[in-house]
């Protein structure tokens, strides 16, 4: 798989998808936040919302939704914010630290190691 040149897609389309908003307001979805749907799509829903609800019948990471929908992560965050604020999805946020100082504890890393060894 090769990296493609910078391409924002059709700006008009992104504008339509997000209703003109350019940033996710409330909660910050991490790339690996796992999202789960809490309801089935209902008639009249925006098609991207429908797709997301279908994708997250089982847990799925934000970054996977982005790849499946072929929309930049930024746009997906906005769409997820809509669904979260209306209770249609729940989010399981990650926990690990952002630098050496907040490394996860060794017991979590032990579990990761075990998982890798069992591959």
Partner 1 sequence: MDSAISELPSRTPLAASADTGLKIVIVGGFGVGKTTLVKSVSEIRPLNTEEVMTQAGIGVDEPAGLTKTTTTVAFDFGRISLNDRMVLYLFGAPGQERFWFLWDGLFSGTLGAVVLVDTRRMSDSWYAVDRLEHHRTPFVVAVNRFDGDHASFSLEEIRQALALPDHVPLIECDARVRSSGKQVLISLVDHLRELARAREMTP
| 90 token code pair | 């729940």
20, 44, 87, 106: which one contacts partner 1 (CB under 8 A)?
106
Binders in 39-98 for partner 1, by CB under 8 A: 55, 57-61, 63-64, 66-68, 70-75, 92, 94-98
Phi, psi angles (nearest 5°) of residue 36: -130, 135
CB of 26 to partner 1, least distance (A): 17
Binders in 15-34 for partner 1, by CB under 8 A: 23, 30-34
CA distance 31 to 52: 15
CA distance 30 to 28: 6
Find, among 30, 29, 31, the residue nearest to 83 by Cα: 29
Residue 12 binds to partner 1 (criterion: CB under 8 A): no
CB of 86 to partner 1, least distance (A): 22
Query: Which neighbouring-strand residues pair with 35?
Result: 60, 91
| 117 token code pair | 């060894």
The residues that touch partner 1, with contacts defined as CB under 8 A, are: 1, 3-4, 6-8, 23, 30-34, 55, 57-61, 63-64, 66-68, 70-75, 92, 94-101, 103-106, 109-117, 119
């Amino acid at each position: 798989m090769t990296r493609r040149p910078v391409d924002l897609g059709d700006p008009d389309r992104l504008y339509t998808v997000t209703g003109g908003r350019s940033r996710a307001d409330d909660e910050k979805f991490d790339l690996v936040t796992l999202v789960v749907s809490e309801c089935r799509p209902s008639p009249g829903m925006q098609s991207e919302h429908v797709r997301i609800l279908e994708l997250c019948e089982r847990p799925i990471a934000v970054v996977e939704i982005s790849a499946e929908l072929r929309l930049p992560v930024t746009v997906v965050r906005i769409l997820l914010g809509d669904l979260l604020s209306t209770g249609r999805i729940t989010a399981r946020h990650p926990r690990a630290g952002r630098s050496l100082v907040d490394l996860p504890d060794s017991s979590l890393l032990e579990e990761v190691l075990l998982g890798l060894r069992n591959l």
